[in-house]
Structure 1
Amino acid sequence: MASNEPPWHATVRSLGTAVIGCFFGLALIDVVIASNAAVGLSDASSETLAVPQWLYLATGGAVIGASALLASVITDREFIRSVHDWRKPVSAQLPLRQGIVYLARFVGVAGLVIIVYRGFVGPQVPTANAAVILVFAGVRAGLTMVVYLVGNVWPALNPWRTIAELLPNLGRRYPARLGRWPAVAGLLALVWLETVTPVNKEPALLATAICAYSIVTLAGALFYTPKSWFSNADPLSVTFRFYGSVGPLRWSENGVSLRPPGFDLPESGIVSKTADIAFIVALIWELTFSGFVTTTTGVEFISAVVGWGVPPLVVYGALFVGGYLLFLGAFWLAAQLARKTGETYLTPRTMAVRFAPPLLAIAAGYHLAHYFGFFVSLLPSFVGSVVSPFSPSANPLVLTRPGWFGGLTIAFILVGHVLAVWLAHAEAYATFPSRIQAVRSQYPFIVVMIAYTVVSLWLISLRTVDPAFVS
């Protein structure tokens, strides 16, 4: 009997089977006893690439080149529309939905209490403290991966939202002119804090930072409303919302539906203002920045500049702010050029708003490359912290990653890149009536996407070390 599923559906299913096989392959990973080394940025970064350089360069170059040709090869609007509109209902109803939500809220609040408590009173050794493991392996790595690989579960888990919704609020109107700029500033501030302070190595400092974050977050949610604050100003909620838009599952009152990852982005309307674009670029830059400062090249560069008499924090600050402005400026320049190459009367801002969502696929791919190995290594410690947060193991286990993990890192970045190019391709054909306009409008954005990807691939090829002067 002939199948009604799209021809590419079987390929997707095969890839899914391959992914499952990879997880079974994790059983082959060696297990070692963790030392008292800190869980920090250097651990989250990729290790030295363990694949032949010629294969690395050939694979990366071939995929990037193929993605650049995509815009000029696939021009059948009907095919693009049929692929992009595919979806499948997974469940007509969500049994016990309310009970699951209540359980998730309890888990979120309990997790926050445990993290703060163990941060202050637990052992001040990061690999043996549940607070550090739960925050960096559980939330920074694991939960974020769940959000863009499955769907956004943060609204139910968010402990600050749960608390805020139980308390009366002043109900002030959130200033529309602020948009998501507070979330942009908050995200950059969190990344800066993680980079230049030992918050990922000193549990008590981490607990103090979380208490300060809790005060600011609850004050904002109660001054305005939880809905407006967590939709616009809270950097964690906005981060998970943006990453969640890449996930394949969508929850609604009618049940759960499945779409290919990221295919909801073009019509999601998640990007509508300049602040949204700035936030997406910040997601890409923060991973690039943390990746650079934990490489030998980054450490040598920073050490050389400090050797000229420049204070370390000034060097880090200039690199952090300057790099972010460079990434953001490159995307805005692409929007300016796309208006000319596409020969359209649409403003550069409109072009930027429409082509910014595909960048989330690049951000997700780079996060997966940056944190997947880190999460796998600390998986025994994470499970132990969840099961028994008050009696941690004196000698926690750490999984040693085999050499083929380097290939996964490359694949994650390249898959994110190809998905981003396809989404930009679909957006262009949805925006312009002319095929020539649709093809030419993509060129500047594809160049920027290639630049982001090349930088990411370059960083993962470098050996990682502790960041200079702040480790």
Structure 2
Amino acid sequence: MPRDGPSRGAATRWTARAATLGLALVGALLLARGVAASNAAVGLSEASQGGLAIPRWLYVATGGAAIGASALLAGFVTDRGFVERVHGWRQDLAASDRVRPVGVAVGALVGLLLFALVVYRGVTGPQLSTINFAVVVVFAGGRTGLTMATYAVGNVWPALNPFETVASRLPNGFVEYPDRLGRWPAVAGILLLVWIETTTGVTDTPRTLAALAAVYGVLTVAGAVLVGSDAWFRNVDPVATFFRFYGRVAPLAWEGGRLRASLPAMRLVEIDERTGSVAGDPTLADEQATATDGSGRTRQRVVTGLSDVAVAVALVWELTFSGFVTTEQGAATVRSVVGVGLPPTLVYAVLFVGGFGLFYGAYLAAAHVSVRRVLTTRTPRELAVAFAPPLLVVAAGYHLAHYFAFFLSLSPSLSTVLASPLSAPTNPVVLTLPAWVSALNIVFVLGGHLVAIWVAHSIAYRLFPSRLQAIRSQYPFVFVMIGYTAASLWLISLPTVTPAFLG
């Protein structure tokens, strides 16, 4: 049982730290030796081939062991003051009355211009995906580059969002948004967009992409006018929700009218220290759900209910799904199931929806197990909501592993189409990356999980007064994270192909 003072013994703590660090390094080295392929966005890059020098079960198990050992190491950090200082550190950088209005105005113009060009060039431009402005900007620029910038730096989508720019300037709010729906519409929207990206071949057909973008724009503006711009983009719009959740991982954000820097992912610690309330308290409206940041300031919580938990799980699952169906093993599995007579669309639908249900159910089960382990009066729902933010760090690590090399390889094409949006590049350049870049995927996945465990550790210490309760409450959630990690490490090691029956 952990003790409150230094009586634990420095030798034990340093032994645990050294063992964990050694295990993580060994795992990273083993993984780096074998991984030679990386998943990429469907339809925009050629499959990479490569074999593994060591058995997959060995490096997957090693990666999972490194994550588990890091959780044990976190258990040795029992100084509440130190934990508070880590996630509560803030540094004011600029005031909004001097910087933000200019940035918002410029961002709005850029967003409107880019959306117009996506629709126009998707229809009139060359129908080759690797050189078409619409496809390259949407997937290499938005799906990949802007998303990475969102969780690595900060969320600029509210300024760029062309639909919010239009809707906020129109009369809106004719119907009150029903609070009971929470953010479930956004969950459904995120899953639907991933389904369209993965199974419809939209990444290969610029005109189809342009048509879908136009339809999405019309529906989004109409919905925002109907229920109100703020309600729509906070609860329904999947793209705005996608970027807002990823943005909470970033070190930069506007809080209290100022641009503030924090340590990466530390703004995800969302327990109100003064009242002991947990994000997701059903008595709090979303606009009132705030948490202290360690310095007496308040900020709006990102996770306030089970629908927000589903968003976090969906961000993890969608990368796992797209990674699976673009691997040789995933394509072979789909072909074998279709071979018994089932329609391919049905197979993909069952795999997609069933996999999300499995991931979501596993996380909720961890919350029930945690309640039984720590003998707390808090409900499984409270713990599920409280420990959901670390999943966003996991998702960010997954996203970086899946798309970093893809973004680098297409960055010349992206730069070219942005520089000359009205003319197609005559000699498109796609970078061929050195083999060692694939080893970074392991660093991204494991790094995301390590930071996520620290965030969970910080949340637990704000949630429970007892150190033993705080430590034991994390273990079921860490176990689920280990499962997510093992699956992701396995997927990013596999050679990629065009999804079966979708090419």
Tell me the TM-score normalized by structure 1.
Answer: 0.88
1:376 is aligned with what amino acid?
A: L
Task: State how far apart, in whole Å, the 1-side matches of 2:47 and 2:407 are.
Answer: 11
Contact 1:119 1:131 (C-alpha < 8 Å) held by counterparts:
yes
Q: Who is 1:72 aligned against?
A: 75
Contact 1:48 1:460 (C-alpha < 8 Å) held by counterparts:
no
Task: Report deviation, 1:63.
Answer: 2.8
What is the alpha-carbon root mean square deviation over aligned residues? 1.9
2:362 is aligned with what amino acid?
A: A
Q: Who is 2:416 aligned against?
A: 384
Task: State how far apart, in whole Å, the 2-side matches of 1:385 and 1:408 are.
Answer: 28
Q: Who is 1:455 aligned against?
A: 487
Q: Matches of residues 63-462 of structure 1 in structure 2 within 5 Å?
A: 63-92=66-95, 95-252=98-255, 254-267=257-270, 269-462=301-494
2:72 is aligned with what amino acid?
A: L
Give the 3-state SS of the residue equivalent to 2:92 in structure 1.
strand
Per-residue deviation, residues 312-346 of structure 1 (Å, max 9, x unmatched): 11110110011000000000000000001111011
Task: Report deviation, 1:52.
Answer: 5.1
Give the 3-state SS of the residue equivalent to 1:397 in structure 2.
coil
Quickly say closer, same or farther: Cα 1:62–1:51, change in 2 above 3 A: farther
Quickly say closer, same or farther: Cα 1:187–1:104, change in 2 above 3 A: same
Task: State how far apart, in whole Å, the 2-side matches of 1:254 and 1:162 are.
Answer: 20
Per-residue deviation, residues 32-85 of structure 1 (Å, max 9, x unmatched): xxxxxxx95165799557885479558625532332313422222222122222
Contact 1:425 1:442 (C-alpha < 8 Å) held by counterparts:
yes
Contact 1:87 1:257 (C-alpha < 8 Å) held by counterparts:
yes
Quickly say closer, same or farther: Cα 1:65–1:350, change in 2 above 3 A: closer
Contact 2:456 2:474 (C-alpha < 8 Å) held by counterparts:
yes
Task: State how far apart, in whole Å, the 2-side matches of 1:331 and 1:108 are.
Answer: 36
Contact 2:364 2:384 (C-alpha < 8 Å) held by counterparts:
yes
Task: State how far apart, in whole Å, the 1-side matches of 2:192 and 2:260 are.
Answer: 35
Q: Matches of residues 16-27 of structure 1 in structure 2 within 5 Å?
A: none
Per-residue deviation, residues 111-146 of structure 1 (Å, max 9, x unmatched): 000000000111111111100000000000001111
Task: State how far apart, in whole Å, the 2-side matches of 1:269 and 1:163 are.
Answer: 26
Task: State how far apart, in whole Å, the 2-side matches of 1:333 and 1:419 are.
Answer: 22
Task: State how far apart, in whole Å, the 2-side matches of 1:83 and 1:45 are.
Answer: 42
Task: Report deviation, 1:444.
Answer: 0.3
Q: Who is 1:4 aligned against?
A: none
Task: State how far apart, in whole Å, the 2-side matches of 1:331 and 1:44 are.
Answer: 33
Contact 2:61 2:486 (C-alpha < 8 Å) held by counterparts:
no
1:416 is aligned with what amino acid?
A: G
Task: Report deviation, 1:198.
Answer: 1.3
Which has the higher mean CA deviation after the structures are superposed, 102-111 or 211-220? Answer: 211-220
2:206 is aligned with what amino acid?
A: P
Task: State how far apart, in whole Å, the 2-side matches of 1:363 and 1:58 are.
Answer: 20
2:27 maps to 1:41 = no
Task: Report deviation, 1:288.
Answer: 0.3
Quickly say closer, same or farther: Cα 1:48–1:80, change in 2 above 3 A: farther
Task: State how far apart, in whole Å, the 2-side matches of 1:456 and 1:415 are.
Answer: 13
Quickly say closer, same or farther: Cα 1:187–1:225, change in 2 above 3 A: same
Contact 2:60 2:486 (C-alpha < 8 Å) held by counterparts:
no
Task: Report deviation, 1:449.
Answer: 0.7
Contact 2:396 2:448 (C-alpha < 8 Å) held by counterparts:
yes
Quickly say closer, same or farther: Cα 1:66–1:42, change in 2 above 3 A: farther
Give the 3-state SS of the residue equivalent to 2:427 in structure 1.
coil
Quickly say closer, same or farther: Cα 1:175–1:213, change in 2 above 3 A: same
Gaps of 5+ in 1: 1-38
Give the 3-state SS of the residue equivalent to 1:79 in structure 2.
helix
Task: State how far apart, in whole Å, the 1-side matches of 2:360 and 2:228 are.
Answer: 31
Task: State how far apart, in whole Å, the 2-side matches of 1:405 and 1:50 are.
Answer: 15
Which has the higher mean CA deviation after the structures are superposed, 215-224 or 80-89? Answer: 80-89
Task: State how far apart, in whole Å, the 2-side matches of 1:263 and 1:65 are.
Answer: 21
Which has the higher mean CA deviation after the structures are superposed, 176-185 or 89-98? Answer: 89-98
Per-residue deviation, residues 245-282 of structure 1 (Å, max 9, x unmatched): 00000224543211111101112521111111111111
Task: State how far apart, in whole Å, the 2-side matches of 1:295 and 1:177 are.
Answer: 39
Identity value in percent: 52
Which has the higher mean CA deviation after the structures are superposed, 49-58 or 69-78? Answer: 49-58
1:225 is aligned with what amino acid?
A: G
Quickly say closer, same or farther: Cα 1:369–1:44, change in 2 above 3 A: farther
Task: State how far apart, in whole Å, the 1-side matches of 2:45 and 2:483 are.
Answer: 23
Contact 2:43 2:201 (C-alpha < 8 Å) held by counterparts:
no
Per-residue deviation, residues 142-187 of structure 1 (Å, max 9, x unmatched): 0111110001100000000001122222432111011111101111
Give the 3-state SS of the residue equivalent to 2:111 in structure 1.
helix
Contact 2:43 2:203 (C-alpha < 8 Å) held by counterparts:
no
1:360 is aligned with what amino acid?
A: L
Task: State how far apart, in whole Å, the 1-side matches of 2:264 and 2:51 are.
Answer: 28
Quickly say closer, same or farther: Cα 1:82–1:170, change in 2 above 3 A: closer
Gaps of 5+ in 2: 1-39, 271-299
Contact 2:60 2:489 (C-alpha < 8 Å) held by counterparts:
no
Which has the higher mean CA deviation after the structures are superposed, 335-344 or 70-79? Answer: 70-79
Per-residue deviation, residues 202-248 of structure 1 (Å, max 9, x unmatched): 00000011111112101100111111100110000001000000000
Contact 1:46 1:373 (C-alpha < 8 Å) held by counterparts:
no
* Number of aligned positions between the proteins: 433
1:118 is aligned with what amino acid?
A: R
Task: Report deviation, 1:93.
Answer: 5.9
- Runs (4+) of structure 1 exceeding 6 A deviation are none
2:84 is aligned with what amino acid?
A: R
Task: State how far apart, in whole Å, the 2-side matches of 1:76 and 1:49 are.
Answer: 46
Task: State how far apart, in whole Å, the 2-side matches of 1:189 and 1:311 are.
Answer: 19
2:465 is aligned with what amino acid?
A: P
